[in-house]
Amino acid sequence: MTAPDFQSWAAAGQQRIEAFLQRALPQPDIAPQRLHAAMRYAVLGAGKRVRPLLAYAAGELSQADPERVTVAGAAVELIHAYSLVHDDLPCMDDDVLRRGKPTCHVEFDEATALLVGDALQSLSFQLLGEYRLADDAKMQLDMIKLLAIAAGSRGMAGGQAIDLAAVGKTLSVPELEFMHIHKTGALIRAAAVLGGRCGNGLSEAEFAHVDTFAKAVGLAFQVVDDVLDAEAPTATLGKTAGKDAEQGKPTYVSAMGITQAKALAGELREQALKAIAPFGARGARLAQLADFIVLRQF
């Protein structure tokens, strides 16, 4: 039996995550109904589910039960979804369009959007406490700690704080990198490592390869985002284009120009592929994911 092509594999993973999130999110007829409707609005039916796909690919390398990886991937996706809802709020990026739909606070209201983000974060950790993810419960506690650090002030939330402080400033490429390693990189790395930790098939040295891969892919993801924000029309992007420049946010495009930014994305893709070279053919899904992320629109 040959492995399914990447598109079929990714579609199957996206469907599994969507189905699980559909069940894990409280139904909209459960009180408080409006909050639950808004949580579902913010999470379901959109998003490329890049983080869960990374978890699946690493989980396959580690011979993990896909049902366990689904829970881990969903937990990471809920953290990601909450961060988008809060990031779009007027006191942050003040954005009205996300994934081609009105942002949560526009569709509902600001207070509801605030609570949606708060409750999605709680739900993420609820899932990690509720489902069996690893044979060893102590390993599962380590996984919870890992996601909490990746989401917190020394990970994603910290990256957003650095981002805020950078508005209107000129950052060097290393400073930009520091910001993005926190803001988007931490959660992308957590997704890959958590997926792998659901199984027992990877050595610690192999986890280091996966982590190095995810770090490069996470940065590449952001460089590509900056290029797309500068180049793509709003309709293609599903969010407001040109927003970064308008808000005076430093980007890879503003720091190094669009040609060099594209070249950097290519270099980071090479770094990512090199990191997983030791896996040989077993690393094919991760390699395909790197291409999916880096080559997505140019």
Footprint on this chain of its own copies (rule: CB under 8 A)? 26, 30-32, 34-36, 39, 82-83, 86, 89, 91-92, 109-112, 114-115, 117-119, 121-123, 125-126, 128-130, 136-138, 140-149, 151-155, 157-158, 160-162, 164-165
The residue assigned the tokens 């990471």 is 76
Tell me how far apart the alpha carbons of residues 216 and 177 are, in angstroms, rounded to a whole number.
Answer: 11
CB of 89 to its own copies, least distance (A): 7
Say if CB 165 and CB 158 are below 8 A apart: no
- Please give the DSSP secondary-structure letter assigned to residue 185: I
Measured from the CB atom, the residue of 111 and 295 that comes closer to its own copies is 111
Say whether 64 sits in a helix, a strand or coil. coil
CB of 75 to its own copies, least distance (A): 11
Q: Which residues pair with 125 in a beta bridge?
A: none
Measured from the CB atom, the residue of 60 and 88 that comes closer to its own copies is 88
Q: 214, 223, 220: which is closest to 191 by C-alpha?
A: 214
Measured from the CB atom, the residue of 36 and 269 that comes closer to its own copies is 36
Say if CB 60 and CB 12 are below 8 A apart: no
Q: 112, 82, 78, 106: which is closest to 94 by C-alpha?
A: 106
Measured from the CB atom, the residue of 175 and 267 that comes closer to its own copies is 175
Measured from the CB atom, the residue of 62 and 160 that comes closer to its own copies is 160
CB of 143 to its own copies, least distance (A): 8
